Amino acid sequence: MGFTNLHTHSHYSLFDSISKIPDIVKRAKEMGQTAVGLSDHGTVTGLLDFYKECKKQSIKPILGVEAYWCPHLGVKDRKLMYHVCIYAKNYEGYKGILKLVTKSYENQYYKPRVNTEMIEELAGNVIVTSACMGGILSHDLENAVLFKKIFKDDFYLEIHTNSMPEQIEYNQKVIELSVGFDIPMIAACDAHYIYKEDASTHRAWKGIGEDDENEYYQTDDFYLLSMEEAIAAFQKQGLQEPYVYRAISN
């Protein structure tokens, strides 16, 4: 069994991550991981640098993006945007992601947006995941069925390692969906900095107060995790081990 850090953000995720690409790759390599993914918010600007750095450090790059999905592109409501992660399976998938992100800026409304039909054009060449608590499932849990129908075995539900109470409750719902609709899960860390001790720096950089419970980064566990740390995080959440191991091994 192995573990790969997906849902990783670099400093190309503007105003959101302080992680530099060489440091991301180096840390994954130090932890004995054979691959690492990158999915910056709404941009593919860092993917070429990331690819070159992974090749330099002899680790497999997983090229992706965390796109802003909107149920209807004509809607002018900035709240109706939800995250979805898309990773290239092959070169065609990579080119498709580049084109998708370009098109997303043609539909920009506060953020570059995509809809289901735009992503569907990449089917067969990409892996799609439900992303975080701000993802497609937060709009409608039935999106799990919709995306499963479109992407089949290339669609995964994400559970996350952070210890926020809302995340723990959300993970339980995701597990129920996974079991009920036979949709595989993956474990993700939603990393925005490299080490745990970087949490206070990241919080200060974003201007977030230490005791601000209304902010997303209210805990200090949005960093790159080892497999052992990921398992421990899920066990601390009280998740059943068979589901945790299945999600990590995917």
What is the full per-residue pLDDT of the chain (250 aa) written as tens digits? Answer: 578 999 999 999 988 999 999 999 999 999 999 999 999 999 999 999 999 999 999 999 999 999 999 999 988 998 999 999 999 999 999 999 999 999 999 999 999 999 999 999 999 999 999 999 999 999 999 999 999 999 999 999 999 999 999 999 999 999 999 999 999 999 999 999 999 999 989 888 887 655 554 567 778 999 999 999 999 999 999 887 766 666 776 6
Structure tokens at 207: 């201007």
pLDDT for position 18: 94
- Please answer whether residues 199 and 220 qualify as being in contact, where contact means their C-beta atoms are separated by less than 8 angstroms: yes
pTM attached to this predicted model: 0.94
Place of tokens 């952070």: 162
pLDDT for position 243: 62
State how far the Cα of 37 lies from the Cα of 63, in Å rounded to an integer.
6
Q: Is 161 left (phi over 0), alpha (psi -120 to 50) or beta?
A: alpha
pLDDT for position 15: 85
pLDDT for position 1: 55
- Please answer whether residues 112 and 101 qualify as being in contact, where contact means their C-beta atoms are separated by less than 8 angstroms: yes
State how far the Cα of 71 lies from the Cα of 115, in Å rounded to an integer.
6
pLDDT for position 178: 94
State how far the Cα of 63 lies from the Cα of 61, in Å rounded to an integer.
6
Give 228's contacts (C-beta < 8 A, 6+ positions apart): none
pLDDT for position 245: 61
Structure tokens at 59: 């680790």
For the beta carbon of residue 249, count every other beta carbon within 10 angstroms. 12
pLDDT for position 247: 73
Q: How far is CA 241 from CA 63, 79, 225, in A?
A: 29, 35, 18
pLDDT for position 239: 83
State how far the Cα of 121 lies from the Cα of 126, in Å rounded to an integer.
10
Span between the terminal Cα atoms of the chain, in Å: 9
H-state helical runs in the chain: 21-30, 47-56, 91-106, 116-120, 136-139, 143-151, 165-181, 199-206, 227-237, 241-249
Structure tokens at 248: 């990590």
Closest Cα to residue 233, out of 155, 157, 171?
A: 171
H-state helical runs in 153-240: 165-181, 199-206, 227-237
State how far the Cα of 76 lies from the Cα of 234, in Å rounded to an integer.
38
pLDDT for position 66: 98
